[in-house]
Structure 1
């Protein structure tokens, strides 16, 4: 059985606009992969209370845009036994940030969390998420 990977489709003009804004505003892009359970269809969503937190300062980068995932309270269906890709765009991190955490602060269990992401020069990352 071959797996189909569902990747976000972002219009070319939006990508070009985001690239120029990223240079201006130093935005951080996370391409996130959620791996669905093999038993049943799952649902995911993102909350506006999702942040990147610099490990060496009190700086917090806010979520400013999302693609291919719903914002709370709406849910996005994830097909059974598939990888589901979505993209999150955050405000920039400080120039001296070397490591940061991705945290979805929500009033229930099951928020996304990825700690210890090592900063790179492009500020574009691909991460695998578990709930």
Structure 2
């Protein structure tokens, strides 16, 4: 004996209400390239006070994960003349964000900074960084 499965009917008003209350969590991924320019091996690191800042609102996305780079106070060695790639993952930006800045707010000189990153549909970016 086979059972018939009946698809439940959900009121249109409830569906609209649920849709408006759903918050989409989308992460932003930055693949960052740093090239050592000095004669000796350089050292880099990332601080937890690194953010994406929406240019058109007061929204700030926090750093939530990092790969292939050390977190302050530990250093990562970058061989002379080589490109070194690392990945940073941030909390999602607002849907209406079109342009954002990447900033490492630190109590010393030479924090990473890239301004005017134009938003794309995938929220995955490759950026070249200078110190």
Structure-2-length-normalised TM-score: 0.81
After superposition, the C-alpha distances for 1:53-86 in whole angstroms (9 at most, x for unaligned) are 0000000000000000000000000011000000
Moved over 6 A (4+): none
Matched residue, 2:130 = 130
1:77 counterpart residue number: 77
- Runs of 5+ consecutive residues of structure 2 not aligned to the other structure: 1-23
**Corresponding position: 1:119 with 2:102:** no
Number of aligned positions between the proteins: 108
Distance 2:40 2:100 in 1: 32
Give per-residue Cα distances to partners, 1:65-111, cap 9 Å, x unaligned. Answer: 00000000000000110000000000000000000000000000010
Provide the C-alpha distance between the structure 1 equivalents of 2:38 and 2:78, rounded to a whole number of angstroms: 11
2:31 corresponds in structure 1 to: 31
Q: What are the Cα deviations for residues 14-40 of structure 1, in whole angstroms up to 9, with x where unaligned?
A: xxxxxxxxxx62000000000111511
Q: Where does residue 100 of structure 1 map in the other structure?
A: 100
